[in-house]
Structure 1
Amino acid sequence: MSEEIRIVETTEMPVYGLRQHMAVKDFGTAFGTIFEQVAKDHLQPAGPTGARYYDEEFDREDSDIEVFIPLASKEGANASVGGMTCAKLTHKGGYSTLDESYARLVKWIEENGYQTTGAPYELYTKTGYENPNPATWETDIYFPVEKTQG
């Protein structure tokens, strides 16, 4: 289940991220690494964690992925996310059905005269940390887009 798709102007967020080829099962280790570095550098997290996907085709076992933590300021940031026009959808439910929301969003982009302009990203706005029931989880999915010509 997910909400309606809409076009939004996103705010640029400074982030501390780790980009590498990894499997979905490696997210926990990658997030652990960046949380340790953020604490070591005394950086201030500011918002939900996320991931950005750089490959054209997503492979659960090996994809070019950046996991990140938004920061309160640019100090210590090694990347940024947002600051662009995006097609947005909020996926409600467990991560095992994210592919359905991605497919719906990609189809909507094509059918509504848009084209993607960059790597899609997710923000994990409600997770198992707040409630272990996957039915309560929410993931905001953003695809940078622009209107196609003609």
Structure 2
Amino acid sequence: KRLVVPDYSAYFSVIPAIGRTVSEANPDMKCATPEYCFISYLDPEYKERDISIEYNEAVVAMGNDVDGIFFREMPAVTVVAVMHKGAYVDFPQTYAFVMDWVEKSGYRVAESPRESYIDGVWNNTSEENWLTEIQVPLEKA
């Protein structure tokens, strides 16, 4: 689903609402195992407010599209991936590291960066233990 969120804290209400909407329209829907979801950022640069995102979740079968939520098969993409452990407010340093690596390694960014949240507020109250995989799709420069 593509949407604009007012700020990053909105994820805590928006993402569960998407899940409820999909479940109501597709009561037998099952997520892929292992679970995999990610958020892609659609704005050309970093923003603190009114952020355009696309939320994706892997499922075992296509379902019924509902309320702007649609099912599709995504092509494979080459990414550089970095594991970020700690608070989300520290993402800028991790992104700076990744973008520096991309440039120095002869690549360029091919698509919007992605964040796959592995451990977070839903399963660990300590921010220092939160784990996010930051993925940057790339191609040779």
* Distance in structure 1 (CA, Å) of the matches to 2:36 and 2:21: 17
What SS does the corresponding residue of 1:146 show, helix, strand or coil? strand
Give the match for residue 45 of structure 1.
31
- Mapping of 1:50-61 within 5 angstroms? 50-61=38-49
Contact persistence 1:125–1:138 (CA under 8 A): yes
Cα deviation 1:55-102 (Å, max 9, x = unaligned): 110202122111232212234452455611111101111111112111
Residues 16-95 of structure 1 mapped to structure 2, 5 A cutoff: 18-22=1-5, 23-40=7-24, 41-42=26-27, 43-46=29-32, 47-76=35-64, 78-80=71-73, 83-95=76-88
Call closer, same or farther: CA 1:65–1:98 in 2, change over 3 Å. same
Instruction: Give the C-alpha shift of residue 21 in structure 1.
Output: 1.8
Gaps of 5+ in 2: 65-69
Offset of 1:120 from its aligned partner?
Answer: 1.2
> Identity across aligned pairs (percent)?
24
Q: Is 67-76 or 33-42 further displaced after alignment?
A: 67-76
Q: Distance in 1 between matches of 2:58 and 2:2?
A: 14
Letter of the structure 1 residue corresponding to residue 62 of structure 2 = K
Paired with 2:121 and 2:11, the residues of 1 have a C-alpha distance of: 14
Q: Per residue, is there more strand in 1 or in 2?
A: 1
Return the TM-score normalized by structure 2: 0.83
TM-score relative to the length of structure 1: 0.78
1:116 aligned partner: 109
User: 8 Å contact 1:85–1:144 — kept in the other structure?
Assistant: yes
Q: Which sections of structure 1, spanning at least 5 residues, go unmatched?
A: 1-17
Deviation for aligned residue 1:123 = 0.7
